[in-house]
């Protein structure tokens, strides 16, 4: 299975994502510069966190127009797995690949801490190794993670089981319905503010992000007749 990690000017979590793929599932992974126009060789594309283009205008607003984004839209149409983490989630909403928007944290402060998430939807290619209702520990690091959508969009997210993660207990940013992550209707595109790539080793304080990567690989292998990993 081939992974591509997009890199924009200002990305700073691309190395974390690369290392997480390399160390948790040992699959081929490549950095993909923002000028690339063809993503067809990748089975899963990671849009990492950071401050693409310095977060000028607003988070993800400039990255949305990078050449690689046309290829990412095509990859979505082709049914590739796509995950946007933190700034990557912001980019996916700006590009219209996921609904809603990310606003300034309610406190107007940057939050960098571990948070408890509830797995709301364990039936996506990214969460199948989790159990619905399970609580996991994943870190956040953002100033604009306040997920917002209108009432009609929220109703659709709830009815279509597109809410993947919710914050448990404290809502660190004010997100509507405590939303920490959502997915597309087919479950192949996920956006989340917390950083699973920073929770893949006990030395980092949590290994709860590991199963996100094993979920992706095992789902892909099931569809391609390869052996799953435990």
Q: Kindly report the number of other CB atoms within 10 A of residue 93's CB atom.
A: 22
**Residue 213 gets which letter from DSSP?**
H
Q: How far apart are CA 153 and CA 40, in angstroms?
A: 31
Residues 6+ apart with CB under 8 A from 219: 81, 125, 128
Q: How far apart are CA 144 and CA 36, in angstroms?
A: 27
Give yes or no: 159 in active site. Answer: no
Give yes or no: 142 in active site. Answer: no
* Given 86, 94, 142, 183, the catalytic residue: 86
Give yes or no: 86 in active site. Answer: yes
Nearest to 177 by CA among 157, 192, 195, 205: 157
List active site positions: 86, 195, 197
């Amino acid at each position: 299975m081939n992974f591509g990690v997009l890199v924009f000017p200002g990305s700073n979590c691309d190395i974390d994502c690369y290392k997480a793929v390399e160390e948790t599932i040992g699959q081929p992974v490549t950095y993909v510069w923002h000028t690339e126009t063809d993503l067809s060789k990748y089975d899963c594309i990671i849009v990492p966190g950071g401050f693409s283009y310095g977060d000028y205008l607003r988070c993800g607003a400039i990255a949305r127009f990078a050449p690689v984004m046309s290829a990412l839209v095509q990859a979505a149409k082709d049914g590739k797995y796509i995950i946007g983490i933190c700034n990557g989630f912001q980019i996916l909403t700006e590009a219209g690949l996921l609904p809603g928007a990310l606003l300034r944290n309610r406190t107007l402060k940057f939050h960098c801490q571990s948070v408890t998430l509830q797995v709301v939807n364990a039936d996506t290619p990214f969460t199948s190794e989790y159990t619905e209702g399970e609580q996991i520990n994943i870190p956040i690091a953002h100033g604009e993670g306040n997920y917002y959508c209108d009432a009609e969009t929220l109703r659709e997210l709830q009815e279509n089981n597109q809410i993947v993660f919710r914050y448990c207990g404290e809502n660190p940013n004010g997100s509507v319905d405590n939303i920490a992550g959502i997915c597309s209707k087919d479950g192949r595109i996920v956006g989340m503010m917390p950083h699973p790539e920073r929770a893949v080793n006990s030395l980092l304080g949590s290994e709860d992000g590991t199963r996100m990567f094993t979920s992706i690989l095992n789902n892909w292998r099931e569809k391609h007749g390869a052996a799953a990993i435990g």
